[in-house]
Amino acid sequence: MRICEECGGEIGVTQDKRSIYCNSGCRSENYIKRRREHNWVYQERVKGPGIRYKNDLKEKCKMCGYNKSKSALCFHHPGSKGRALSKIHKIDEIKAEIEKHPIEVLCMNCHAIFHNSA
């Protein structure tokens, strides 16, 4: 008797011998779980430091004052732009880059308006 990896139920005799799930629902659930895990690992390893730095900010949009959602805020480089902050993976390097090339915090709307009107 074979056991489903997702729910622990029995895999029917009519199922393909290579199947590790008892039905398509279990297969879908497992796929969704793996995607969530992958996204979480990606966020933590690749984008983690920048996201954590942005979440620690006590700032709001410089133009309109928006501060309801941190995910709607972005960094704007008013002068010369150094390295892209999204490509830096260590908080110390992010802070050093901000000291060299100051940034402004803008909401996504104001950032788009700024770049489209300039």
Q: Read off the pLDDT of residues 43-95 as tens digits, 9 standing for 90 and up.
A: 655 555 555 566 566 678 889 999 888 778 888 878 777 777 667 777 777 77
Q: What is the C-alpha separation between 95 and 54, in angstroms, rounded?
A: 11
For residue 10, the tally of other CB atoms under 10 A from its CB is 12
**Is there a contact between 48 and 91 (Cβ–Cβ < 8 Å)?**
no
Q: Fill in the amino acid letter for 79.
A: G
Paired residues of 104 in beta bridges: 76
pLDDT tens for 16-51 read 777 888 888 888 888 888 887 777 666 655 555 555
Query: Which structure tokens are listed for 72?
Result: 């709607």
Q: pTM above the 0.85 mark?
A: no
